[in-house]
Amino acid sequence: MPEMTYLEAISDALRQEMRRDPSVFLLGEDIGVYGGAFKVTKGFLTEFGEGRVVDTPISEAAIIGAAIGAALNGLRPVAEMQYIDFITNGFNQLVNVAATIAYRWGIPVPIVIRGPAGAGVGGGPFHSRNPEAWFAHTPGLKVVYPAFPADAKGLLIAAIRDPNPVVFLEHKGLYRRVRQEVPSGTYVVPLGKASVVRDGEHMSIIAYGSAVHQALEAAQRLAAEGIEVEVVDLRTLVPFDEETVLASVHKTGRVLIVHEANRTCGFGAEVAARIAEKAFTALDAPILRVAAADTPVPFAPSLERAVLPSVEAVLAAARELLRF
C-alpha cells in the first residue's frame, strides 16, 4: 500500500470516484486552474476537463444550490468550500433545501460538501471554525470528520456514493502533517462506524478529527505510568455509532470526550448525553469534556494555543477522572 498524507488520500478518493463514475463532478472556487487553495485538486482539470472540474464564482450559496440542482438531475456533485467557515454563506441551501428534499419529495440528493476545517494554523476567526454541531443538529444531513488518511479516503468514497447530502470536514492542520499507508484503488469505509484506535481498560477517550491525535499522544504518555486508555475515533458524527461508544464505556467505566470545536453545544455534549442516558450505571466517575473555549479563534499564535484543547489539557482531565 502506498503511503499518503491526509491531503493526498482525499485527492486520491476524488480521483478514483471520478474515474469510476462519470456522473461525479467537482465544483468550487479556484479548484480548476489553480488546483484548489490547498492543492487537493491539482491536476484534475487536465485529466477530467472543465466540464467536470468547475471553477465557480465566489458564492457558496450558488455553489451549493447548483450542486443540489445537479444532484436532482442525476449527477453526483462534490462541492468544495475553500474554507469550511464560509459554508455559512450557503447555509439556507444546505439546511433548508438539501436536507429536506428527501423528506418533502422522496427524491435523493447525493451531494458532498467538503472543505478544510479546524484551527491551529494561525487562520484567525474566519478560517478556523469547526462547524460540525450545526449540521449534526439538522435532520437529513450526514456529517463526517476523519482523523487519518486511510479513513479520509474510504469515508469520502462512501460519502460520494451515499444518496444523502454529506458534510465532509477535513482538518487543515492534518493535511500534510499526518501520513499513513492507504489502500490503492477503490476503498470504502462505511459511514456510521466508529473505530477503536487504541485498546485500554482504565478509561475511554472519545474523539474525532484532530482531537484523536491529541488523545493518542495523551494515552501514550499515560501508558508510561501504567494507565491504559482506550481511544475511540468517531469518524462519522451522523450517523452516530452509539454501539461502539457504549461498549467502550461499559469496558472502562470512565469517559473523557475531546473535540476541537468550542465547548458549549459542541458535539461532545450529545455524546455525553447518550452515555448518561444509556450507560449511567457503568460509570465510575462523571463524564468530562475537553474542548476549545467559547470564543472566536484568535489570530495570534499564543492566544490561539490558549483557547484550543491541548495534550496537556487532555492529560489533566484524564488524571482528574482517574482520581475520582
**Using the 8-state DSSP alphabet, how is residue 240 labeled?**
T
Give the C-alpha separation, 1 to 4, whole Å.
9
Give the C-alpha separation, 179 to 196, whole Å.
19
Q: How many CB atoms lie within 10 A of CB 274?
A: 15
Residues in Cβ contact with 302 at an 8 Å cutoff, skipping those fewer than 6 apart: none
Q: From its phi and psi, is residue 50 left (phi > 0), alpha (psi between -120 and 50) or beta?
A: alpha
- The x, y and z cell numbers of residue 53, run together, are 472540474
- Judge whether 167 and 141 are in contact, CB under 8 Å: yes
Helical segments of the chain, H only: 6-20, 44-48, 60-72, 91, 99-105, 132-136, 149-161, 210-223, 242-252, 267-278, 301-307, 311-323
- Judge whether 3 and 153 are in contact, CB under 8 Å: no
- Judge whether 51 and 80 are in contact, CB under 8 Å: no
User: Considering 127, 171, 202, 213, which one is annotated as catalytic?
Assistant: 127
Residues in Cβ contact with 84 at an 8 Å cutoff, skipping those fewer than 6 apart: 115, 116, 117, 129, 131, 169, 170
Would you call 180 helix, strand, or coil by DSSP? strand
State yes or no: is 127 an active-site residue.
yes
**Using the 8-state DSSP alphabet, how is residue 93 labeled?**
I
Among all residues, which ones are annotated catalytic? 127
